[in-house]
Structure 1
Amino acid sequence: MGRVVTPAGFGPLRRKEDVRLVRGRGRFVDDIALPGMLHGAILRSPHAHARIVSVDTSAAESHPKVRVVLTGADLAARDMAWMPTASHDVAAVLACGKVHFQGQEVAFVAAEDRYAARDALALIEVEYEPLPAVVDARTALGPGAPLVRDEQPGRTDNHVFDWESGDAAATDAEFAAAEHVSACDLVYPRVHPAPLETCGIVADADPVEGRLTVHATTQAPHTHRVLYSRIAGVPEHRIRVVAPDIGGGFGNKVAMYPGYLCAVVASTVTGRPVKWTEDRSENLMASSFARDYHMRGEIAATRDGRILAVRVQVLADHGAFNATSQPSAFPAGFFGVFTGSYDLRAAHCRVTGVHTNKAPGGVAYACSFRITEASYLVERLVDVLAHDLGLDPARLRMANLLRPEQFPHPTPTGWEYDSGDYPATLGLALEIAGYDELRAEQAALRAGYERTGRGRLLGIGLSFFTEAVGAGPRRTMDIMGLGMADGADLRVHPSGDAVLAVSCMSQGQGHETTFAQLIGHELGIPADRVQVVQGDTDRTPFGLGTYGSRSTAVSGAATVVAARRVRERARLVAGAILEIDPADLEWVPGRWQVRGNPTVGVSLTEIAAAAYSGRELPDDVEGQLDASCVYNPPNLTFPCGAYLCVVEVDPVTGEVRVRRFVAVDDCGVRINPMIVAGQVHRGLADGIGMALMELITFDPDGNHLAASFMDYLLPTSMECPSWELGETVTPSPHHPIGAKGVGESATVGSPAAVVNAVLDAIGVRHADMPLTPAQVWRAVQGRPLRPDLAIR
């Protein structure tokens, strides 16, 4: 094997895709217009829980522009009334006999234009028999609770699953012997990914070719193709799923929604393409939510703050159908990583899932399968412990963090962290922030407030998180039986230009740039000469898509391995060109050259031309310059970060202003620092939103109270400070280039930092998110918190 000289490291590069996107030349699903295309609309239930007595579609069917109306009975006649979910449940496509949540799909109309389709919905007469609803996970398992899924034979309660992780006996022993135990009840409320572009599809069932072509806003095109095949009975080779440009996903576009299948059926029935695009209210009411966890956490420690063990009980609200998109073996996602970044002796968690009359489908919303909830829990517990023991929260964390020599680190709950220098990461965050100076300023402002009763209070909040990303490996992780390995196909053309096809799918992360840089790093091809193909099942290898920060960790690794295979093939061709033993060659970026004589060599462009030519090649080289890889990661990767938030709080009004935010991330080797910074900025804004304003809530009858951006508040630039970023780098030892992933890290770490800062300012032990001005004011006054947020 020839010696490989490592090329120069990665660096900042402006995003290739922005050239078209900022000029309005992106191509989104709603831009697609096919000849003869119909437009779909969905009739949704006004009730959270009700029997369907009758559905009369005759008036709608008589509308001159309506071409088809579908009901649950119509789909049942086609054996398509129910669809499988990632969590081995089944969900109704159109409600059959009963509606389970407000906004559930009851009927689908396809008409000549979208206005006629919407008008026709009003012509459908549905008689409902309202039923009592349950919207509180804490009462859903209680006696007399309405039964959400009574269509399931033998079901007598709303229980979904029980799952536990860690050693209960060892943890109980640590707690029994501990000098101090702190406990806290927390709610991580239901929130929504709320992407800029809502979900949509254009389905085109071609009766001549017998092919189904689907353009959809999906983060997982190959997974959707499998589902269409299983539900509709169409062979996979006759289905093409295309995901064009996507205007944000954040996990919301992993799932398959009833509107997608209805569009497919309507296209099959009419023989014409059918487009369906949801509006904002539909997106907020009926598409996949996130979070909705009720948690009780306990932390055992010595009196001087040595953390010994953590114990957790969780109630997980899964809505009407268990449709969470997470690996089959982990019904509570990766919540087992709740041990965080600390050197614990023992840990144990127990998670119970329940059904309620809410929309289903908890997604990996900008987090790797429930790690955001787990990180929030442990970081709140550490602050509560610091509060109870009278210790500085920064020094408490520093004393308990895992040390570099402890990696690879087996956690008490069975995970193995790959690498990290946690003390250096926290130390850098404290240094950037000027932590001691901030504490001095805080003390001065508090003293002034206590003297005058006026002014703002300063709060300093910390969080330290470890995330688990890059789902695989295949032996332990799957979704619906599909292994979580990703593919990459690479071809270098005779010109030396390259085309890379990957199974992940960008929703704004900059894949076209990042993956072109990976090829440039391995082969020396300029990024502008690398075309990255994604989102088309006819042109890309199989894979489970982009979510849970899988892109660089899995598809990126597949890309690097494929590029190295091309490079090795190029070495053999170069040996033939130079008439030299390939073992005597060494690689420099873009060129194989003779070891010890760099003037004699051949460029990759010349090698590519030769590989496609009539030149005589070695017997084991077939010609051309291409390679493929299916990458099955040996382990997850474990990025980490230390975040510090500084807030000013007006105790009179409860107003919170985020003054500073310092984020130090260790995501392993960084491919493009500009893209990393952009991903972190987005996640930090996410955290501010969840900590201070975002909330999906319901009244006791199950009416959705946040179905527009007038009620569901999102952060803007006005609420966000100028982010202060830092980095440490500990490469992942098992990833081909040492990358770990960063797309969701900031969302994992930032909510706890913001909440800890606000509570630090007002001197309150705990209050639940979102810390709206009213919630902060109540906490300052010592009054009961809002009943829909407070733990009973």
Structure 2
Amino acid sequence: MGHGRMLRKEDARFVRGRGCFVDDVTLPGMLHGAVLRSPYAHARILSVDPSAAESHPKVRAVITGDVLAERGLAWMPTLSHDVAAVLATDKVRYQGQEVAFVVAEDRYAARDALALIDVEYEPLPPLVDARRALDPDAPLVRDELDGRTDNRIFDWESGDAAATDAAFAAAAHVSSCDLLYPRVHPAPLETCGTVASVDRVTGRLTVHATTQAPHAHRVLYATVAGIPEHKIRIVAPDIGGGFGNKVGMYPGYLCAVVGSMLTGAPVKWTEDRSENLMSTSFARDYHMRGEIAATADGRILGLRVRVLADHGAFNGTAQPSKFPAGFFHIFTGSYDVPAAHCRVTGVYTNKAPGGVAYACSFRVTEASYLVERLVDVLAHDLGLDPADVRRRNLLRPEQFPYRCATGWEYDSGDYPRTLELALEMAGYDQLRCEQAARRREHAETGRGTLMGVGISFFTEAVGAGPRKQMDIAGYGMADGAELRVHPTGTAELRLSCMSQGQGHETTFAQMVAEELGISPHDVEVVQGDTDRTPFGLGTYGSRSTPVSGAAAVLAARKVRERARIVAAALLEVSGDDLVWEKGRFHVRGDREAGASMREIALAAHSDLELPDGVEGHLDATCVYNPPNLTFPCGAYVCVVDVDPGTGQVVVRRFVAVDDCGVRINPMIVEGQVHGGLADGIGMALMELVAFDRDGNHLGASFMDYLLPTAVECPSWELGETVTPSPHHPIGAKGVGECATVGSPAAVVNAVLDAIGVRHADMPLTPAQVWRAVQGSPLRTDLAIGERS
């Protein structure tokens, strides 16, 4: 009952193959859609002739940009107030962009008919290197925008430039480093897809979709298609991973809706793996120059950062729109930095739209990687131990709540204790002794592998967010919960967030059960259906527990207080005379005189006479507008062995100590951390969305876009500290993305520590590591994406 290591309720159907995913949805008379995509990264469209495809005996409709334009559906808003073409009409702006959509009787006929559509292109020079985006002679990506003369999306800055300049002028030492956080892909297990059905009689639209934000999608459909929102139902069934990839609305979704409008039948569209890797939302792609000012003994005095952000052909970032660079301005990380300033410039390029909140809280991943690399570079330059530099600069418990140099207030934490626990678990001093012995042996014999130890300490910023500061597409980021206790004492909780594998059906049931004193098995969690759930902006950026979880807890507490009133009437005493113990109220001083939640629930639905103005039933709602973000943190230690002859990296050990506040279900927390650590190893060592100089995508399958497996991952060693969030109802902070934020820097720091190189960019592939060992020039064209 309540919090603890409870097995996941949803797994029973998954392990038996009884899950229901979008591709499992089959409706009577259902047709199938397929997307024609551009082979060019940048080309003008001279003509589109669908006549041969329309003559195919199994084709029911061919949708082009002109067809959509006739219906006023040619453009759709992105989550960052940009506009994106549903189907390209004037020109294509990235390889894989949608040009036409075929609706046919089966998926094979739909795909076959794509080859019958005749599109004449005039190739244009592509822009694939963001560092050229602002050059006077750079190709103009968004020439359809009025007054557009260059590829700039935004210029944004945070911090105090004058104070930072003064700190640098007074510093005994300044270290700097140019870094690339390369473009990566969420690569969910299930690709994106939808089944759209328009009822011609009622005008009602029902969409089954792989979406992390059903209510946000309903708003967008109403905005774009002109259908009244109350006549739109979005259903998100089981989702095989999202990681931010399934936040936005893709052209295939809207085309399926139009296909249903044209044919009068349901239309299913499911992308294949290559389509998912080529054209759905990417992440990262930040070129960063960081400078760190310090005293001679490594005390940080200031940070200065310049960033060039590659957002692809459309600015489709799923992040609070008041902060175009997301939460990158929490780039001071976990350290007491007196002065800091950053400037971020976003640019368009001929790549698929990027900037998705992929397993990070709106750019915190890039910010954390930046500061953790800078701290290691500072230690390298000063000849200091990286652990000691962190010890000197970490925030201390008595400094919380702490307002960082860019204005954000961190809620709580015991950073020194978290770091020391990680170092103790790893046996840090012994590791350094082992490393010294291995280095001596290698110097003497030239044989054996090189050993490296890497540390990272991160602070996340999750739980977006306070409505006064954050919105998506103009809608405040508050979330709702509705709780109903039935006459028999079982409960139904309706949420606006949406699970993609995090175990919501278990953890949210545990939260309600803890508040009401009932079994989690007696709490049904409803999510993913806009007809059955309250409005909210969905799941990403580790919002679930900090925002929707808080709403659920507060709704449960409202129910409990209503139960107190019912119990007082049932027991014929004043509510003030009742004492709550888990699952029941009893009369103060007489534990035998009481009523269980089940008895109270039945009484609330009976003919029991309640006080004037008090309604029956045990129902409650809550819309939770968090007062602040929550700030989980963690300390990671990675140990690697590097073969200098081949550049091969083996992650031998990984110690991860996380502080995510109160843990609802430790087993689910550990599973989230395991996944994030594997994710970090992938990004540090192998994952790269690559393009050649013509803008051709080079990673359209898992043969080219490499993902980590169990072979590349060690047995994780996990620890925990707990500092509850002071403003969250149960002190929880969220953990879903923490390991992805903290782990890449630990791996990179370990590899560079092994080979004695000051800096090299991810991914540290064997070829990249080998070049660094040999002293050969590193591949700077990885910034463009050509692989080593």
TM-score normalised according to structure 2 size: 0.99
**2-side partners of 1:596 and 1:472: how far apart?**
43
- Aligned match of 2:29: 36
Residue pair 1:403, 1:422 contacting (<8 A) in 2 also? yes
User: Counterparts in 2 of 1:71-82, with a 5 A limit?
Assistant: 71-82=64-75
Counterpart amino acid of 1:203?
A
Alignment of 1:481-630 (within 5 A): 481-630=474-623
> How much does 1:151 deviate?
0.9
In the alignment, does 2:375 pair up with 1:387?
Answer: no
* 96, 106, 116: which one aligns with 2:89: 96
CA distance, structure 1, for counterparts of residue 388 and residue 565 of structure 2: 56
Matched, 1:704 2:697: yes
- Structure 1 segment 227-626 matched on structure 2, within 5 A: 227-626=220-619
Question: 1:790 and 1:36, CA in 2 relative to 1: closer, same or farther beyond 3 A?
Answer: closer
CA change 1:289–1:14 in 2 (3 A) is same
Query: 1:405-426: CA deviations, max 9, x gaps?
Result: 0000000001000000000000
Contact map agreement 1:651 1:777 (CA 8 A) in 2 = yes
Query: Structure 1 residue aligned with 2:210, among 217, 225, 228?
Result: 217
1:643 match: 636
CA distance in 1, matches of 2:237, 2:94: 31
How far off its partner does 1:399 sit? 1.2
- Residue 218 of structure 2 contacts residue 234 of structure 2 at CA under 8 Å; is this kept in 1? yes
The offset of 1:791, in angstroms, is: 9.8
**Structure 2 Cα separation of the partners of residues 776 and 600 of structure 1:** 72
The Cα of 1:723 is off from its aligned counterpart by 0.3
Structure 1 residue 673 and structure 2 residue 641: aligned? no
Amino acid corresponding to residue 475 of structure 2 in structure 1: L
Please list the CA deviations of residues 718-763 of structure 1 after superposition, one character each: whole Å capped at 9, or x if unmatched: 0000000000000000000000000000000000000000000000
Residue 565 of structure 1 aligns to a residue in which SS?
helix
Shift of 1:10: 2.0
CA distance in 2, matches of 1:443, 1:216: 55
Residue 727 of structure 2 is aligned to residue 734 of structure 1: yes
Instruction: Indicate the residue corresponding to 2:153 in structure 1.
Output: 160
Would you say how many aligned residue pairs link Structure 1 and Structure 2?
Answer: 785
Q: Does the 8 Å CA contact 2:256/2:268 hold for their aligned counterparts?
A: yes
Distance in 1 (CA, whole Å) between partners of 2:184 and 2:612 is 60
Tell me how far apart the structure 2 counterparts of residues 370 and 82 of structure 1 sit (CA, whole Å).
27
Question: Whole-Å Cα distance in 2 between the matches of residues 90 and 455 of structure 1?
Answer: 55
Contact residue 768 and residue 790 of structure 1 kept, 8 A: no
Secondary structure of 1:353's aligned partner: strand
Distance 1:105 1:199 in 2: 14
Amino acid across the alignment from 1:687: G
SS of structure 1 residue aligned to 2:238: coil
Amino acid of the residue matched to residue 205 of structure 2? L
After superposition, give the CA deviation of every residue in 1:448-486 in whole Å (9 maximum; x if it has no partner). Answer: 000011101110000000000000101110011101000
Indicate the residue corresponding to 2:772 in structure 1. Answer: 779
Answer whether contact 2:690 2:784 (CA < 8 A) is retained: no
Contact 2:691 2:784 in 1 (8 A): no
Q: Which runs of 5+ in 2 are unaligned?
A: none
- Which region of structure 1 is more displaced relative to structure 2, 505-514 or 79-88? 79-88
- Which one-letter code corresponds to 1:535 in the other structure? G
* Residues 60 and 681 of structure 1, relative CA distance in 2, 3 Å threshold: same
CA shift for structure 1 position 97: 1.0
Superposed displacement of residue 789, structure 1: 2.4
Does the Cα contact within 8 Å between 1:94 and 1:105 map onto a contact in 2? Answer: yes
1:18 aligns to what?
A: 11
**1:645 & 1:286 partners in 2: Cα distance?**
33
Contact kept, 8 Å, 1:84 with 1:90, in 2: the verdict is yes
Matched residue of 2:711: which SS?
A: helix
Pick one of 197, 201, 211 that aligns with 2:190: 197
The Cα of 1:361 is off from its aligned counterpart by 3.3
Q: What residue number does 2:708 align with?
A: 715
Q: Judge conservation of contact 2:182–2:783 (CA < 8 Å) in 1.
A: no
Residue deviations 1:28-49, cap 9 Å, x none?
0000000000000000000000
- Checking the alignment, whether the CA contact within 8 Å between 1:186 and 1:791 is kept in structure 2 is no
Residues 656-698 of structure 1 deviation map (CA, whole Å, 9 limit, x = unaligned): 0000000000000000000000000000000000000000010
**Structure 2: distance between partners of 1:30 and 1:619:** 52
Structure-1 separation of matches of 2:354 and 2:655: 33
Greater mean deviation of Cα atoms: 746-755 or 614-623: 614-623
- Match of 1:684, SS? helix
Matches within 5 A, 1:103-114: 103-114=96-107
- Give SS of 1:337's match: coil
**Partner Cα distance (2:15, 2:498) in 1:** 19
Q: Report what 2:58 is aligned to.
A: 65
- Local SS of the residue matching 1:504: coil
- 1:42-61 Cα offsets, whole Å, 9 max, x none, are 00000000000001100000
Residues in 2 aligned to 1:77 and 1:791: alpha-carbon distance in whole angstroms: 38
Shift of 1:787: 3.0
Q: Is the 8 A contact 1:187 1:791 kept in 2?
A: no
Three-state SS of the structure 2 residue aligned to 1:336 is: coil
Which residue of the other structure, out of 776, 782, 788, is the alignment partner of 1:789?
782
- Counterpart Cα distance in 2 of 1:235 and 1:423: 54
Percent identity over the alignment? Answer: 79
Find the aligned partners of 1:693 and 1:211 in 2 and give their Cα distance.
46
How far did residue 270 of structure 1 move? 0.5
Q: Following the alignment from structure 1 to structure 2, what is the Cα–Cα distance between the partners of residues 481 and 145?
A: 32
Work out the CA distance in 2 between the residues paired with 1:754 and 1:217: 32
Deviations 1:71-112 (A, max 9, x none): 011101111000001111100000011000000000000000
Q: Give the 3-state SS of the residue equivalent to 1:19 in structure 2.
A: helix
Q: Is the 8 A contact 1:694 1:712 kept in 2?
A: yes
Between the aligned partners of 1:782 and 1:211, the Cα distance in structure 2 is 65
**2-structure distance, mates of 1:597, 1:163:** 64
After superposition, the Cα gap between the structure-2 partners of 1:450 and 1:697, relative to the gap in structure 1 and judged at 3 Å, is: same
Q: Secondary structure at the match of 2:262?
A: helix
The answer for the alignment partner of 1:126 in structure 2 is 119
Q: Which residue of 1 aligns with 2:178?
A: 185
Give 1:617 deviation, angstroms: 1.2
Amino acid across the alignment from 1:787: T
Which stretches of structure 1, 4 residues or more, deviate above 3 A after TM superposition?
none
Asked if the contact 2:692/2:784 (under 8 Å) is kept, the reply is no
The alpha carbon displacement at 1:9 in A equals: 7.0
Output the CA distance in 2 between the equivalents of 1:789 and 1:70.
38
> 1:208, CA displacement in angstroms?
1.4
Aligned partners of 2:170, 2:164: CA distance in 1, in Å?
A: 10
For residue 5 of structure 1, what is the aligned residue in structure 2?
none
Aligned equivalents of 1:595, 1:549: Cα separation in 2: 41
- Seen in structure 2, the aligned counterparts of structure 1 residues 293 and 436 have a Cα distance that, compared at 3 Å, is same
Unaligned runs of 5+ in 1: 1-7
SS of residue matched to 1:718:
coil
User: Partners of 1:174 and 1:90 in 2: how far apart?
Assistant: 41
User: Deviations 1:144-192 (Å, cap 9, x if unpaired)?
Assistant: 1000011112111101100001001100100011000000000000000
How far residue 204 of structure 1 moved from its aligned partner, in angstroms, is 0.3
Q: Distance in 2 between matches of 1:682 and 1:104?
A: 31
| Offset at residue 788 of structure 1 (A) | 1.9
